[in-house]
Structure 1
Amino acid sequence: MHKNLLCAATSSAALISNALGSASYKTLLQGMSALSLQQTRGLRDDLKARGIEWREPKKYKKYHPEISGDLEAFKAADISGPTHKMTYAHAEFEQSSPEVQRLLSLEFAHNNELIKMSKLDILRETQRHQYDSGSLAAKITNLTVSIRYHQTEKGYEKLLRYSERRVHLEHLVDRRKKYLVRLRRIDYKRFEWLLEKLNLLYKPRVLKGGPIYRYDSLRKLVSMRCEKLRKAKLAAYKAKLDAQKESFEAEKKSTLEWIKETEEKLGIPVTVDPETGMIEAPLPPRVTIAKRIFGPYLVNKE
């Protein structure tokens, strides 16, 4: 509406620009633009006062937890524990001195060792047996740990610094999504169990819609507001009628009793019952048009 007004004003200003001059035309156009902007701001303030406010939706990257579906942060392994290679010599690690254990622990190891041990800790809860590392559930678990490590504050700083890390993380998210789709198709019960175990939210693929415009969104918000008010008024009216139900039933019963007594006094068939309501009375015999016209002329065979 405001755009149409602005276009009409612009066309009118263009028609009179020859008579007023270029300076007057520019002044008029600036004034109409300021008026349209003021009307738009007034409309927004009015809608905001009525509880209708539109905010531009946030745009998240594919690796953001809001899009990837990770409902849980990265769980790091115990830094006082041994590295992945030292797990094969766990007995010797336990027998060594505290200084040696600290040097061989995850405290002084690379971040890759921390990720490996974190994967191993979670994999023990989702794998079918102790040697399971190639099933779909195991692959999804390993990818989930890697994705959540990059989503941490330390990993996110590296993502902002290096573009190839962002691309790599997007590939990890896509690969996990592909494995989830395959597991969902093959074994749905295990798929649900794995989502609950890893605290994941599966989001099926949706087609991208068109651009989001402010005025279209405001129209939808206004229609939703009107629908909400309509339902609230209907609920209040229903509650009001429910409160009057007892008095209405009492009045109905007294009226039916009066009708029944009147019909009995007049000696006509009773058609109402104060307890059940109306009684199905027998219908009168159907008289056809031919019988109405030629009835008096028909001879009774009896």
Structure 2
Amino acid sequence: MTCFKLYSACIPVRGASRSIICNLVKGNFNYIPNTLYDILADYKNCNIEKIENDFDERSHKELHKHFNFLVENGFGFWCDKPEEFIDMELDWDRSSPITNAIIDIDNLSKYDVSEVIRQLDNFRCEALQIRCFSVISIEEINRILSVTTESNFISIELYLKYNPIYNESFLKDLCEKHKRIRFAIIHSSPEEKVISSDDDYYYAWFDKTELKDESHCGNISRKYFSPNILLFTESQHFNNCLNRKISVDKEGNIKNCPSMLMSYGKIQNTSLKEALEKKGFTDNWIIKKDEIEVCKDCEFRYICIDCRAYTSDAKNKYSKPAKCTYDPYRTTWS
């Protein structure tokens, strides 16, 4: 008995008009027709003879073409005992009450950034994004980042507003000195340039995009797709942008995300822990893609970051992200 089996980290996702199959280890995906998705779902662990018997003989050539495509692209294999290969569990959990955070700063910010970072570290926060909308000195940058040296953070994304002294040498030295930096972006730059370490551990680049405030968030684009195990599994159960996130905006307001309207206190007189415990803070954490209008019909829903701050209908928490221009019914971007 010869059966077709998908590798455990290769998972198909059905959309309204087409499907994709994701390789969550290699971090890529390919398009497949919905008919192939249905075959993979309906004939899981079935032998090829059973599948062929249920289809018109004229369809067999196309059927084998589909399976050859999946094998050639590393999504699956033929075997005699498919039950011996266990499917990947799609559960998601982390030990940290807060896994990711955003800190926004401009030249009018009056709160202590270092103290916010210390509080985040008490949560065992894994990922930190620091966004500077105004130029700050090299001394201040290093002072802020010095707090993360002995911290629990796994990765730091740093956004800095362009300053001529922020040259390529500066970025390399900064990333080498502060090892937790994975991405350093110089926004509002007159040129675009990408820099990476020899081992690709960190990336730094100059970007012409001007970031004046938090309103640049929420853009949905193919370039932001992330076919990986953590995002894919989290998307099954939680909101893949807001879940376990806490933020401090440039004015010191504690929010789920800086772009959200609701504030749960000022960081100057409210701790992050106190804000997290307030009623309503975690409400958006459980809004998953399968519940969101249009997104629930989109083949990219588990690899695409959601946005609840900018939605098509502000009164409907389940409405489509306002900055998404993809139509899954026509498979077109506008």
TM-score, L = length of structure 2: 0.16
| Larger helix fraction of residues | 1
Task: Give the number of the structure whose residues are more often strand, by fraction.
Answer: 2
